[in-house]
Structure 1
Amino acid sequence: MMKLEKIVLFFNIKILIYFIIAATVLFALVFTYIHNARADGYILGDWLINYQDGGFKRRGLSGSFFFLLQDLSGIKLNFLVYFFQFIIISSFFYFYFKLIQYKEATFIYLSLLLSSIGFVGLFNCVDYVGKKEFIVFFLFAYFIYHLNQNSLSKLIENSVCVGLFIAMFFHEITLFFIPYFLIALYLKTEKVELKRYSKYIIVVFVPAILIFLLGNDINEGQSLQILKERGVVLTKGIFFWNIDERKYIIAHFNDYRLYIISLFISVLHIGFYLKYQTHRKVTSILLFSAFLFSLPLFYLAIDWGRWMYIHMMFLIVLFAMQLKDSTQSTSSEVLKLNLKFYVTLLIIILSLTYRVEMSGRGFTFEGFFYRIFIAPIELLHKMV
């Protein structure tokens, strides 16, 4: 016991958080590049949905944007998309780093990053990398950083709203996570500002209505040929997707019901975190409302693990704003061997043991520990 006390006395949580940030951004950038280089139909393909095939449609702005850049530069689409992804992913982690740089890190906050659907989720499910939600992650981190610094001027706030408006034409999931922007404003100002909130609501609902009323199918029949002529050959992915997702979930119910386990663990985790925060009752109600607002996603699409992961990423950024301010960039709480410490440690160990797949199996014991200590041995065994 005395030895453990000495270890925790010199353990700096903030340094570990910095390491996790560096490792996560490196992992995300490397594997995003690999997905693009291999012309992955789900990651690269999603960025290349376009208006050239059949006109206006959901997510089509990104492909038409990159087509224009290719026409102007002559650079391959794979590299153009990756360059944009590189900027967006790096910008998100940069503003997240700036947000927590002068905050006092806590052990229980560290547990959020190590959640199986937090930063560790990227390592557990490599298909999370390179997705369009990083656009919204970046906008939220940028927004929270300025909100925390009391530098959210009208110009910056309006630029965030413009960014959200444009993001809707990149991916419609932007709509389902807009409550986090409103929650952040309320937690910071501690007052209801309906007129201010209306800006955020309008900039996502107007595109949503336009897409719903006027949007064509993602593949109107010519997308694959258009992409082939531009140097990208896809053999699977979003352009081949013609599955009834609700029937798919029902057919794979035995796998999907396992998401109840991972969701239950995550709810307990967030509940335990909020137990040690101020305004926990109001915050709990607001966060529950944000989850309810996203429920249509779980009905419409099969990526249940992805939606849970996005929620946790928003929570990680939101809760960073509420950490105590500090003048030191390595400020970290002094750990005490009490019940809170041991429960948090247990949560971290559990989080590192299980995995939440993007779609399919909602809970397996193939988590971070499995991928570090067991998977490499299994791979070597197969090679021998």
Structure 2
Amino acid sequence: MKLKKILPYFNIKTFIYFLIAITAIYTLAFTLVYNLKDDGYILADWLINYEDGGFKRRGLSGSFFFILQDLTGLRLNYIVYFFQFSIISLFFWYYTKLIRYKETSFLYLSLLLSSIGFLGLLNNVTYVGKKEFIVFLIFTLFVYLLDNDKLSKLKEWGICLLLCISTLLHEVTLFYVPYFAIALFLKTDKFELTRYIKYFLSVFIPAALILIIGKNVNEGQSLEILSQRGVHPIYGIFFWDVDERQYIKEHLYEYKLYFITLAISVFHIAYYIICSHYKKLLSLLLIGAFLFTIPLFYLAIDWGRWMYIHMMMIIILFALPLKNGDSVLSFEKIKVDGKFYVTSLIIIFSLIYRSEMSGKGFTFEGIFYRVFIAPTELLNKM
């Protein structure tokens, strides 16, 4: 009798909640681990500052944290982690609120289980604690307000302000702003050029300032300044001196493998759009959003990271047109048909492979490998 009462709660929706919880805990835990060891990327990227040489890309966060340290006397590691914890937690919270009363489907779950979706965080520990979570949070908040008809003019200007600040924190914000315009179009089903321009100007103006008058990330004193403040990275952003285009040429075979991941993801998203009966225009808009980020792939080596951000933005975006349900456990009942089998194969394959942030574009070292094979290999080595 008790089993019959419990079984109805084990469904697609509860599995999504479980996946959100596991991913959030994993992300927050490893972000703390990396912060405490003075990681040169996950901590130090937040500590780029204006004190060393003046205005520069990503420098706003470091100067802000320096002020907080002077006021509180706390270690920078803890101050940065408090903000990382808040941003990451708020993202997962608002995403949960966004889908809470939505009828999530088996096909929608497959997006989360994409090797470069939520599962990407579990596959690649280096994705944790990075500044793209700011973009995820702003976009999720934006979509949530849109979905609940709460995006007033004042709140929309607030989103624009957040986009401007986010660009000063990390220039990657610039390249993913098309998703805001796509979300608005998906909600209103009409072309609103003035509003789109507002979003783009919010990121283009600070980006132009960075390009025209911005200094180098490290003008020579950054490591000394951090050392005086109790942070001692030995690798990472402040040591970065790599010709990234040359690096890609030297590792061309590994980077060609990203096209396998890209092909899988394109098929996955296209299949989702077809099965969901969305307009073909949405496909063209998403292609446009991807093409808008081509400069990132040309200028920087983190191809896996750029693809992961795309998938995360699409997962948030596709929550918008999901049907509203009548409870927090609403989900679309599974039908064992052709779509079910194709979706199942997509999920199984997603669990098998992964793409690293940079370098290895496709490997058979996904969740199955990390859970069942890697521990055995470690035991054998011991």
Fold shared, TM-score > 0.5 on shorter chain: yes
Per the alignment, residue 316 of structure 2 pairs with 317
- The structural deviation recorded for 1:9 is 9.5
CA contact (8 A) 2:301 2:358 kept: yes
Structure 1 residue 123 corresponds to structure 2 residue 118: no
Per the alignment, residue 284 of structure 1 pairs with 283
Amino acid at match of 1:95: Y
CA contact (8 A) 2:60 2:168 kept: yes
CA contact (8 A) 2:325 2:331 kept: no
Structure 1 residue 83 corresponds to structure 2 residue 76: no
Matches for 1:120-159 after TM superposition, within 5 Å? 120-159=119-158
- The structural deviation recorded for 1:154 is 1.3
**1:278-323 CA deviation, whole Å, 9 max, x = no partner?**
3330100000000000110000000000000000000000001111
Amino acid at match of 1:172: E
Q: Provide the aligned C-alpha RMSD in A.
A: 1.1
Matches for 1:69-108 after TM superposition, within 5 Å? 69-108=68-107
Consecutive unaligned residues of structure 1, counting only runs of 5 or more, are: 1-7
Give secondary structure in 2 for the equivalent of 1:249. Answer: helix
Give secondary structure in 1 for the equivalent of 2:114. Answer: coil
Give secondary structure in 2 for the equivalent of 1:298. Answer: helix
CA contact (8 A) 2:167 2:173 kept: yes
Q: Quick one: distance in 2 between partners of 1:11 and 1:89?
A: 26
Give secondary structure in 1 for the equivalent of 2:316. Answer: helix
Per the alignment, residue 361 of structure 1 pairs with 360
Matches for 1:249-288 after TM superposition, within 5 Å? 249-288=248-287
Per the alignment, residue 174 of structure 1 pairs with 173
Q: Quick one: distance in 2 between partners of 1:51 and 1:334?
A: 54
CA contact (8 A) 1:29 1:86 kept: yes
Structure 1 residue 15 corresponds to structure 2 residue 14: yes
Structure 1 residue 65 corresponds to structure 2 residue 64: yes
- The structural deviation recorded for 1:107 is 0.3
Amino acid at match of 2:157: N
- The structural deviation recorded for 1:256 is 0.5
- The structural deviation recorded for 1:380 is 1.6
Per the alignment, residue 302 of structure 2 pairs with 303
Per the alignment, residue 3 of structure 1 pairs with none
- The structural deviation recorded for 1:277 is 2.1
Amino acid at match of 2:61: S
Per the alignment, residue 30 of structure 2 pairs with 31
Amino acid at match of 1:214: I
Q: In structure 2, do the counterparts of structure 1 residues 27 and 10 end up closer, same or farther at CA, with 3 Å as the change threshold?
A: closer
Structure 1 residue 222 corresponds to structure 2 residue 216: no
**1:22-65 CA deviation, whole Å, 9 max, x = no partner?**
00000000000001011110110100000000001000001001
Give secondary structure in 2 for the equivalent of 1:320. Answer: coil
Amino acid at match of 1:348: I
CA contact (8 A) 1:118 1:313 kept: yes
- The structural deviation recorded for 1:10 is 8.6
**1:183-234 CA deviation, whole Å, 9 max, x = no partner?**
0000100111111111101110000110000001000000000000000001
- The structural deviation recorded for 1:244 is 0.5
Structure 1 residue 373 corresponds to structure 2 residue 372: yes
Which has the higher mean CA deviation after the structures are superposed, 354-363 or 275-284? Answer: 275-284
CA contact (8 A) 1:9 1:334 kept: no
Q: Quick one: distance in 2 between partners of 1:79 and 1:203?
A: 30
**1:50-92 CA deviation, whole Å, 9 max, x = no partner?**
0000001000001001000000000000000000000000000
Structure 1 residue 342 corresponds to structure 2 residue 341: yes
Q: In structure 2, do the counterparts of structure 1 residues 338 and 201 end up closer, same or farther at CA, with 3 Å as the change threshold?
A: same
Q: Quick one: distance in 1 between partners of 2:123 and 2:152?
A: 38
Give secondary structure in 2 for the equivalent of 1:321. Answer: coil
Per the alignment, residue 187 of structure 2 pairs with 188
CA contact (8 A) 1:9 1:335 kept: no
Structure-2-length-normalised TM-score:
0.97
- The structural deviation recorded for 1:11 is 5.6
Q: Quick one: distance in 1 between partners of 2:100 and 2:120?
A: 23
Q: Quick one: distance in 2 between partners of 1:176 and 1:328?
A: 36
Structure 1 residue 329 corresponds to structure 2 residue 328: yes
Q: Quick one: distance in 1 between partners of 2:330 and 2:167?
A: 38
- The structural deviation recorded for 1:377 is 1.2
**1:140-177 CA deviation, whole Å, 9 max, x = no partner?**
00000010001111121111110000001100000000
Amino acid at match of 1:179: P
Consecutive unaligned residues of structure 2, counting only runs of 5 or more, are: 1-6
Q: Quick one: distance in 1 between partners of 2:259 and 2:240?
A: 26
